[in-house]
């Protein structure tokens, strides 16, 4: 958590980073703008068998197969029913290219490093700890997500049920 804050500070304690903010399940989230490759309107995905519930399927993005994650499910809410306002944010992280289905894109925020607050210890299981920092703005709170933990982390939906039966 503090590593994000420290790594973005660089040599200057007041470094400025930009975050793309968006809504999912009634909350506001943000991701590093440098990870965003494009923002697309919702397109019907091609489902794949035996995927975790948060993986809606894949789309063909100019010849590249891109998995689409339903961010609502990944964050513990109900499955999205896409409408005209839903968008897919295509990102690149250590896990590769993938899309995040979100309710709506909000804004691009320039944030001074000193504005970021650490995520308080809440007893959240490590496999569900996707938040890297919190950004209080006026009357709202923006939760900043770690994209690598979001799709690379081992959440309960990814557990191998064959091991549990043994």
Domains defined for the chain, CATH in brackets: 2-150 (2.40.50.180)
pLDDT in tens, 58-95: 999 999 999 999 999 988 899 999 998 899 999 999 98
CA distances to 37, 113, 156 from 92, in Å = 7, 23, 24
pLDDT in tens, 13-54: 568 999 999 999 999 999 999 999 999 999 899 999 999 999
d(C-alpha 124, C-alpha 130), whole Å: 10
d(C-alpha 109, C-alpha 19), whole Å: 5
Output b/e per residue, 76-90; b: 16+ Cβ within 10 A: eeeebebeeebbbbb
Q: Which of 34, 29, 8 is nearest to 91 (CA)?
A: 34
* Mean pLDDT over each residue of the chain, to the nearest integer: 83
Residue 135 has pLDDT above 90, yes or no: yes
Residue 160 has pLDDT above 90, yes or no: no
Reduce the DSSP state of residue 75 to 3 states and report it. coil
Give the pTM: 0.80
């Amino acid at each position: 958590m503090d590593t994000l804050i420290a790594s973005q500070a660089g040599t200057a304690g007041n470094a400025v980073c930009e975050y793309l903010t968006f809504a999912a399940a009634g909350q506001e989230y943000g991701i590093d703008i440098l990870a965003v490759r494009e923002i697309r309107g919702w397109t019907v995905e091609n489902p794949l068998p035996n995927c975790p519930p948060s993986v809606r399927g894949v789309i063909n993005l100019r010849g590249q197969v891109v998995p689409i994650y339903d961010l609502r499910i990944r964050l513990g809410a109900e499955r999205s029913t896409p409408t005209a306002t839903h968008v897919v944010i295509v990102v690149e992280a250590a896990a590769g290219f993938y899309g995040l289905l979100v309710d709506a894109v909000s804004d691009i925020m320039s944030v001074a490093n000193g504005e970021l607050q650490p995520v308080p210890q809440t007893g959240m299981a490590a496999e569900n700890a996707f938040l890297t920092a919190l950004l209080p703005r006026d009357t709202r709170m923006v939760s900043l997500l770690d994209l690598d933990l979001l799709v690379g982390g081992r959440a309960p939906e990814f557990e191998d049920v064959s091991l549990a039966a043994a």
